[in-house]
Amino acid sequence: MEFNDVVYGRRAVNFFDPRRDITDGLLRQVLETAAQAPSSSNLQPWSLIVLRDPDAKMRLQKLAWNQPKVSEAPVALIVLADTDGWKPGHFFVEKNFREMVQAGIMDETRRKKFDEVCFSLYGSSQERKIAFACKNAAFFAMGLMLAAKNFGLDTHPMDGFDIDGVRKEFHIPDNYWIPLLISIGYFRSDKELMPSKWRKSYDEMVVRFDQ
């Protein structure tokens, strides 16, 4: 699809067709397109739990204000943001380092400095850990919602849920923040979309404080 058609066509839809499934192959394409997002030092501190099982989706739904779209959509995604995704020794931090060395943009002599910078920027306070994890997971999630639209799917991002309840229910380790859930599936064609909501204009977004 044309880029603008994807951006303006993406809507948070409330109604999914429960009879239309998404194949694993299609979900894989959506997620791998989303993973083209940039991230801090290419650390990609995002993961997902993919729920297809009706019982599992219902357990999630009950922790998300019982919104029917969680179970009606064929797939519910729990997006995870890894607040430890900058730490030396972490599986993907080490993989990222090896990949950088292999690409010729890093070497062992610079490793100590790289670790120090990552700690300073992403790990030196709880605020920085949360900002690092949520910012990068949101780059990924935004790409996911757009990629889904491009493949003819619709999504609904949700942050109205019991984060501690979801953590407990799905045994999610403490290093993950849970920035959002995403329902993904096909729009239920007998339903109507609400008109698009308002958005800030350029003049409402651009600020300055030095005059």
Q: Binding to its own copies (CB under 8 A): which residues in 171-200?
A: 171-173, 177, 179-180, 194-195, 197-200
CB of residue 70 vs its own copies: minimum separation in angstroms?
16
Q: Kindly provide the residue ranges of all beta strands, DSSP E only, lying in 83-175, ordered along the sequence.
A: 154-158
Alpha-carbon distance of 182 to 139, in angstroms, equals 14
Judged by CB under 8 A, the residue of 4, 23, 109, 189 near its own copies is: 4
Query: With binding defined as CB under 8 A, does residue 126 bind its own copies?
Result: yes
Judged by CB under 8 A, the residue of 19, 36, 107, 152 near its own copies is: 36
Residues of this chain, 136-165, that bind its own copies according to CB under 8 A = 136-139, 141-143, 145-147, 150, 157, 159-160
Number of C-beta neighbours around residue 69 at 10 A: 22
Alpha-carbon distance of 135 to 49, in angstroms, equals 18
CB of residue 200 vs its own copies: minimum separation in angstroms?
5
CB of residue 17 vs its own copies: minimum separation in angstroms?
21
12 burial class (0-12, 13-18, 19+ CB within 10 angstroms)? Answer: middle
Residues of this chain, 44-83, that bind its own copies according to CB under 8 A = 44, 46-50, 80
Judged by CB under 8 A, the residue of 31, 63, 73, 166 near its own copies is: 31
| Bridge partners, 75 (sequence order) | 184
Residue 177 phi, psi dihedral angles, 5° rounding: -85, 155
Decide: helix, strand or coil at residue 191: coil
Total chain residues near its own copies (CB under 8 A): 79
